[in-house]
Amino acid sequence: MTTLSFEFFPTKTDEGTEKLLAVRDELAAYNPEFFSVTYGAGGSTRDRTYAIVNEIQRRGIAAAPHLSCVGDSKAEIRELLTRYQEIGISRIVALRGDLPSGAGLGSSELRHANDLVEFIRAETGDHFTLEVAAYPEMHPQAPNFEQDLENFVRKAKAGANSAITQYFFNADSYFYFVDRVQAMGVDIPIIPGIMPITNYSKLARFSDSCGADIPRWIRKQLEAYGDDSDSIIRFGEEVITEMCHRLLEGGAPGLHFYTLNQARASLAVWKNLV
């Protein structure tokens, strides 16, 4: 069975939160397995993440908060785990996370995602389903691809149940990554992360910063459309739908959409697939 899930980021205003929850209600009609909610660098959105997770959970579909360890103490993480257990959360996306700009790892008690996974398991046993991140095109801070594969294997073997990938636009990178880690003894489900294409300039900036490759043929076509947003959206839908078809036909266990707090583009792709 193909799983479906969506990701949100915490908003900064009450008005933004209301819009996000309206998007959540629209997406809920498609029975996703969960909604994940991101966690700002160094825990900077901790309270907003918790509030949105609580509201999503209250409305009847599972919420999966992101939880990062860099910049947070074990005591802070332990307290947050307890709060999430109290409101019925059973899934967490466990990440190393990023520190605010200019900060270093410093005295973080937990320095890597595998440390966080081990800590959550030690504190809560099997209460939480733990998702970790996967990087088919390599984490931008990894020294090389082989070491990045080893880092992923450590996270999986520390107690992760499944993984969600960074977005990509080349299905072969996903299949190659899955084959490699399976050969290294990891067989947890690895869910492709899907980024709809709706705005080329923003996508290009973000992709350059996070290490996601936009194939040249896609870049050139998007550049050719210039400010023609309707053509960009149509082309993006076609490209992402075809890639998702190939992923699912090739055995991907589901899709996780990076919604950017919008429903239209993700649903357009999903409706093409079902």
For the annotated catalytic residues, the residue numbers are 7
d(CA 227, CA 77): 44
Q: How far is CA 71 from CA 12, 28, 97, 195, 229, in A?
A: 21, 33, 9, 27, 39
d(CA 49, CA 64): 10
Which residues pair with residue 4 across a beta bridge? 255
CA–chain centroid gap for 170, Å, is 17
d(CA 238, CA 252): 19
29 CB-side CA count, 13 A: 8
Which residues pair with residue 229 across a beta bridge? none
181 CB-side CA count, 13 A: 28
